[in-house]
């Protein structure tokens, strides 16, 4: 009820929680992996097939 006065629900929706989790995972992967290089390498493999 208290959050309702700010237009917020007390319950965080499942889909919002999933979205936050996936964003955090993507940020972690981007920080620790060379995503551009991985995508380039995977494109090279798919072009050979």
Give which of 17, 41, 39 is closest to 29, Cα–Cα. Answer: 39
Domain range spanning residue 21? 3-48
pLDDT for 43 equals: 85
Average pLDDT along the chain: 83
Mean pLDDT across the stretch 7-29?
Answer: 86
Q: What is the pLDDT of residue 4?
A: 67
Tell me how many domains the chain contains. Answer: 1
Span 21-43, pLDDT tens digits: 999 999 999 999 999 999 898 88
The predicted model scores a pTM of 0.55
CB distance 1 to 10 below 8 Å: yes
Task: Identify the pLDDT of residue 9.
Answer: 61
């Amino acid at each position: 009820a208290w959050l309702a006065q700010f237009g917020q629900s007390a319950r965080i929706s499942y889909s919002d929680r999933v979205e936050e989790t996936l964003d955090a995972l993507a940020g972690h992967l981007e920080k620790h992996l060379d995503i551009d290089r991985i995508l380039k390498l995977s494109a090279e493999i798919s072009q050979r097939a």
